[in-house]
Copies of this chain bind each other. A is one copy, B any other.
Amino acid sequence: MNILITGGTGFIGSQLARFLLEKGDKVTLFDIEPNLSLIGNIKDKANVVRGDLACLSDVLSAIKKHDAELISHTGALLSARSEKYPVAAFRANLVGTFNVLEVARLLEVGTVMFASSIATFGEGVSNPVPNEAPQKPMTMYGVTKVASERLGEYYYRRFGVNFRALRLPSIVGLGRGSGGASAYSTLMIEKPARGESYQVYVSQDSKIPILYIKDALRAFMGLQEANETKLRRRVYNIGGISPTAGEIAESVRIYVKNSGLKFSPDKTMQEIVDGWPEALDETRAREEWGWSLKYNLNEMVEDFIKEVRSFGIRGR
Contact = CB atoms under 8 A, between A and B. Distances in A.
A142 to B, nearest CB: 8
Contacts of A50: 85
Consensus secondary structure, chain A interface? helix
Nearest to A83: B158
A134 B133 contact: yes
A87 interface: yes
A58 B86 contact: no
Nearest to A95: B95
Interface stretch (A147-155, A165-173, A190-198, A265-273): A147-155
Interface in A69-125: 83, 85-88, 90-91, 94-95, 98, 102, 106, 124
A52 to B, nearest CB: 7
A35 to B, nearest CB: 13
B55 A91 contact: yes
A106 B64 contact: yes
A60 interface: yes
B154 A143 contact: yes
Interface of A: 33, 50, 52, 55-58, 60-61, 64, 83, 85-88, 90-91, 94-95, 98, 102, 106, 124, 132-140, 143, 146-147, 150-151, 153-154, 157-158
